[in-house]
Amino acid sequence: MYVFIVNPVAGNGRGEKIYRRLSKTDYFKRLDSKVYITAFQGHAEKIARQLVLQAHTNIKTIIVVGGDGTIHEVVNGIGNGRIPIGYIPGGSGNDFGRGCKVRGTPKQMLRRIVEDSDVTPYWIGDYLLENGEKRHFVNSIGFGFDAEIAEHANQSVYKKLLNRFHIGKITYVIALILVLFKFKPFEIEIEVDGTRQVIKKCWMVTIANHQYYGGGMKIIPTAKIQPQRMPVLIIQDISKWKILGLFLTVFTGKHTSFKEVTVLEAEKVSISSTNLIFYQVDGQTSKCNTCTLLKNSREIQVLGTNI
State the alpha helices, DSSP H only, in 192-264.
240-248
pLDDT of amino acid 166: 62
Query: Could you tell me the CA-to-CA distances from 71 to 40, 243, 267 in Å, in that order?
Result: 14, 30, 24
- Amino acid identity at 263: V
pLDDT of amino acid 80: 85
What CA–CA distance (Å, rounded) separates 10 from 38? 10
Q: Where in the chain is the domain with CATH 3.40.50.10330?
A: 2-117
Find all residues with CB under 8 Å of 25, minimum gap 6, and list them: 107
Find all residues with CB under 8 Å of 236, minimum gap 6, and list them: 185, 199, 201, 202, 203, 260, 262
Beta bridge partners of 268: 294
Q: Where in the chain is the domain with CATH 2.60.200.40?
A: 126-297
285 three-class SS: strand
**Which of 53, 68, 65 shows the shortest CA–CA distance to 2?**
65
pLDDT of amino acid 156: 67
Instruction: State the helix-helix crossing angle for 240-248 and 170-180, rounded to 10 degrees.
Output: 170
Q: What is the CATH number of domain 2-117?
A: 3.40.50.10330
pLDDT of amino acid 247: 84
Q: What is the pLDDT of residues 258-279, one digit of tens each?
A: 999 999 999 999 999 999 999 9
Parts of the chain with a pLDDT under 70: 55-57, 156-170
pLDDT of amino acid 157: 62
Domain 126-297 CATH (choose: 3.30.750.200, 2.60.200.40, 3.30.300.30, 2.40.50.180): 2.60.200.40
Concatenated DSSP letters for 183-207?
A: ---EEEEEEETTEEEEEEEEEEEEE
Question: Residues 156, 71, 108, CA angle at the centre, nearest 5°?
Answer: 105
**pTM for this model (two decimals):** 0.92
